[in-house]
Structure 1
Amino acid sequence: MQPWALVTPASRGIGLELARRLLTTTDIPVVATARKDLDHTRENVLSGLKGVKEDRLRVLKVDVLDEQSISNAANEASSLFPKKDAYLHLSLCLPGLLFPEKSPSQINYDDALLTFQTNTLGPMMLIKHFSQFLPRKATNVLASSGLPPQAVWATMSARVGSISDNGLGGWYSYRASKAAVNQVTKTFDNYLKMSAGEKAISIALHPGTVKTGLSEEFWKNVKDEKLFSPEYAGEKLMEVVNSRTLDDRGRCWDWKGEEVPP
């Protein structure tokens, strides 16, 4: 059985660096996604990667606000990796959008709706269409360098999605959408316990504050040692993913490998 990986989206920021890291630290095929400019995304992912076979990378069009595009990409993946011959060993599901709201009066309905559509419904639709490729109980999951021992579906969350750790308030839409991601992660992991047993787990990830467009407005408020480059964030997140055990399933983990409480 041929393992493969999914990074969605991978057009910039953490997703771009994770796709590049998988190509350089593993030998499996990588499916990266972007909403547009697929050729440009492919060039960015491969740029400067010496010794990497370019045919290991496939770039598919996915817009998490458009379920049909997710379904179409899943159909393409099915043709590339037939389930009788291959399985999805690692999925890094990374959609993210933030509108900061300091007070209730700043909540905008359309912005809040878009936040949930991107941060919560997007990952749910990716699970709907791509979870079919994860191992089943009877799948022969192969040990592979640079990858976790079991298949992992990892969804990007955030520390501010923690209800018990919320001492500041604000960011209503973003907090709520990420708390929902943590619930989806747990619920999906319960499903995987039945369908895959010990062959696949679901986790959520908190990358810290990373120098991407999502957090740019807040860089000035973060100490230099707590503001990470996308390259560093990608490295630390892969360390966390690769070190998870079955006891860690269904929970949210930060870039240090410490649990983010629900």
Structure 2
Amino acid sequence: MQPWALVTPASRGIGLEFARRLLQYTNIPVVATARRDLDQTREHVLTGLADVQEDRLHVLRVDMLDEESISSAASEAAKLFPKKEAYLHLSLCLPGLLFPEKSPTQINYDDALLTFRTNTLGPMMLLKHFSPFLPRKSTKLAEAEDTVGLPGQAVWATMSARVGSISDNQLGGWYSYRASKAAVNQVTKTFDNYLRTSAGEKAMSISLHPGTVKTGLSEEFWSNVKEGKLFTAEFAAEKLMEVVNSRTVGDRGRCWDWKGEEVPP
């Protein structure tokens, strides 16, 4: 069986660096997604990767706010990787949107709705349409030499955040973002319960906290970050890939930070 990976979105930031790392340090095909400018995304992912087989990269259109685009991308993936011949070994689901409400009076209904649609419902729709590509209990996983640089079992990883932790919430604020990421962690656990039944130990679900990364999402807060705690997207992708690859089935259903430490629920 041919393993493959999904990185969505991959047009910039951590997703872009994840796609580049997978092409550099593994041998499997990579499906990267972007909302628009697919050719530009392909160019950005491949820039400087002289030794990479370009036909390993497939760029598909996915808009997290448009279920039809997710369904269409899944249909295209099914043509590229028929389920009788291939399975999804790694899915990195990475959407993120933040409106920093410091007090309840700053909560805007439309902004809050957009936050949930992007951060929570987008990943849920990806689960709906792409989870059937994950292995089942009966699936014969690829040999170790074919999954170098990858976790030992299939992993569905969704981007969360430390501020999604309820027990760790000491500061308040960021109502919509906190709530949407707490919901991501609930979806992660619920989906992992499903995988326990459908895939056994051949697939699991986790969520990830990357730290504060120098992307557009956190730009407003860069000046408040302690020295040495503002990471490049390349560093974040490297550390999170190490975390994903070192998880075992005993770590399933939980949220892990870039250091490999659990973020409490």
Q: Which range, TM-score by smaller chain? A: over 0.9
Is 1:170 aligned to residue 189 of structure 2?
Answer: no
TM-superposition CA deviations, 1:179-216 (whole Å, max 9, x none): 00000000000000000000000000000000000000
Matched to 2:106, the amino acid is Q
Look up the match of 2:15. Answer: 15
* 1:134-181, Cα deviation, whole Å (9 max, x unpaired): 000011112210000000000000000000000000000000000000
Q: Which residue in 2 is equivalent to 1:202?
A: 205
Structure 1 CA distance for aligned equivalents of residues 106 and 5 of structure 2: 39
Deviations 1:91-120 (A, max 9, x none): 000000000000000000000000000000
Partner letter of residue 32 of structure 2? A
Matched residue, 1:58: 58
Moved over 4 A (4+): none
Q: Hey, what does 1:91 align to over in structure 2?
A: 91
1:181 corresponds to which of 151, 169, 184:
184
Equivalences for residues 40-51 of structure 1 within 5 A: 40-51=40-51
**Which deviates the most, 200-209 or 221-230?**
221-230
The corresponding residue for 2:103 is 103
Backbone CA RMSD of aligned residues:
0.4
Alpha-carbon distance, 1:223 to partner: 1.6
User: How far apart are the structure 2 equivalents of 1:160 and 1:31?
Assistant: 29
More deviation in 136-145 or 162-171? 136-145
- How far the C-alpha of 1:37 sits from its partner, in A, is 0.1
| Distance (whole Å) between structure 1 residues aligned to residue 141 and residue 166 of structure 2 | 35
Kindly state the Cα deviation for residue 33 of structure 1 after the two structures are TM-superposed. 0.1
Q: Which amino acid aligns with 1:40?
A: Q
Opposite residue 27 of structure 1, the aligned amino acid is: N
Offset of 1:234 from its aligned partner?
0.4
Aligned equivalents of 1:257 and 1:141: distance in 2?
A: 25
The one-letter code matched in structure 2 to 1:250 is G
| 2:30 counterpart residue number | 30
Question: Residues 67-111 of structure 1, C-alpha deviation per residue, up to 9 Å, x if partnerless?
Answer: 000000000000000000000000000000000000000000000
Match of 1:121 in 2: 121
Q: For 2:179, give the aligned amino acid.
A: A
Q: TM-score under structure 2 normalisation?
A: 0.99
**Cα separation, 2, equivalents of 1:224 and 1:55:** 40
Partner Cα distance (1:103, 1:64) in 2: 28
Count how many residue pairs are aligned between Structure 1 and Structure 2. Answer: 262
The separation in 2 between residues aligned to 1:189 and 1:92, in whole angstroms, is 15
Match 1:259 to one of 245, 252, 262? 262
Hey, what does 2:225 align to over in structure 1?
222
| Deviation (angstroms), 1:224 | 2.6
Q: Tell me, which stretches of 5 or more residues in structure 1 are unaligned?
A: none
The Cα shift of 1:50 comes to 1.9
Counterpart pick for 2:235 among 224, 227, 232: 232
Q: Percent identity?
A: 83
**Partner Cα separation in structure 1 for residue 138 and residue 259 of structure 2:** 33
